[in-house]
Amino acid sequence: MPGSDVLRTMLPEHLLLGGMVVLIVLALLRMSRALALPVAALVIVASSGAAFWLASLGVSTEPFLGQLVVNPVIYLTKGSLLLLALPVLLMSRTEFEDVEFPLLLLCSLYGLALLPSAENALVLFLGIELLSIPTYALIVLAFKRPQAAESALKYLVLSGAASATLLMGLSLVYGATGSMATSAFTMALASGDLMARTAVVLVLLALYIKAAVVPFHAWAPDTYEGASVPVTAYMATLSKAAILVVALRLFGNAVPAGPMVGIMAGLPLVSIVWGNLAAMKQHSLRRMIAYSSIAHAGYLFYAFLGAPEGRFEAITFYIITYSAANLLAFAALPAHANDVQRDAMESLEGLFHRDPMAATLIAVAMLSLAGLPPLPGFTAKFLIFKSVLAAGFTTWAVLGLVGSFLGLYFYLRVIMRMFMSADRGVVPATTGAALSRAAGILCLAATLALTILPGWVLARL
Partner 1 sequence: MSEALMLNVILWLPLAGALALLLIPRDKTSEVRAVSTVLLGIQFVLALVLYRAFDGGVDGLQFATNVPWIAEWGVHYAIGLDGANVLLVLLTAFLGPLVIVGATHAIEKDVRLFHVMVLLLQFAMMGAFLAQDLFLFYLFWEAMLIPMFFMIGIWGGARRAYATIKFVLYTAFGSILMLAALIYLAIQLQAQGGVASFAFADLQKVTLPLAVQMPLLGAFALSFAIKVPVVPLHTWLPDAHVEAPTPGSVILAGVLLKMGTYGFMKLGFPLFPDATRQLTPLLMTLSVVSIVYGACLALVQTDIKKIIAYSSISHLGYVMLGLLSLDLVGIQGAIVQMVSHGLVAGGLFLLVGMVYERCHTRELAAYGGLARQIPRYAVFFLVFTLASVGLPTTSGFTGEFMSLMGAFTAAWPQHLDGNNGPLILAVVACTGVVLGALYMLRFALTFLFGPTKTPHGEALSDLSGRETFLLTTLAVAVFWLGLFPNGALQKTERAAKHFQQAVMAAGMVSDAR
Residues that bind partner 1 (CB under 8 A): 367, 372-374, 378-379, 382, 385-386, 389-390, 394, 397-398, 401-402, 404-405, 408-409, 412-413, 415-416, 419-420, 454-455, 458-459
Q: What are phi and psi of 421, to 5 degrees?
A: -120, 165
Q: How far is the CB of 319 from partner 1 (least distance, A)?
A: 18
68 or 359: CB nearest partner 1:
359
What DSSP string runs through 390-415? Answer: HTT-HHHHHHHHHHHHHTHHHHHHHH
Amino acid at 28: L
Q: What are phi and psi of 68, to 5 degrees?
A: -130, 140
196 or 415: CB nearest partner 1:
415
21 or 416: CB nearest partner 1:
416
234 or 411: CB nearest partner 1:
411
Measured between alpha carbons, how far is residue 11 from residues 2, 70, 161, 299, 402 in Å?
15, 11, 33, 33, 44
Q: How far is the CB of 350 from partner 1 (least distance, A)?
A: 11
Longest dimension (CA), the chain: 66
135 or 379: CB nearest partner 1:
379
Measured between alpha carbons, how far is residue 224 from residues 17, 31, 230, 238, 396 in Å?
28, 31, 10, 13, 30
Number of CB atoms found within 10 A of residue 232's CB: 29
Q: How far is the CB of 152 from partner 1 (least distance, A)?
A: 37
Closest CA to 236 of 318, 316, 296, 149: 296
64 or 382: CB nearest partner 1:
382
Closest CA to 252 of 171, 170, 316, 201: 316
194 or 398: CB nearest partner 1:
398
CA terminus-to-terminus distance, the chain: 27
Q: How far is the CB of 85 from partner 1 (least distance, A)?
A: 28
Q: How far is the CB of 421 from partner 1 (least distance, A)?
A: 8
Amino acid at 267: L
Q: How far is the CB of 249 from partner 1 (least distance, A)?
A: 23
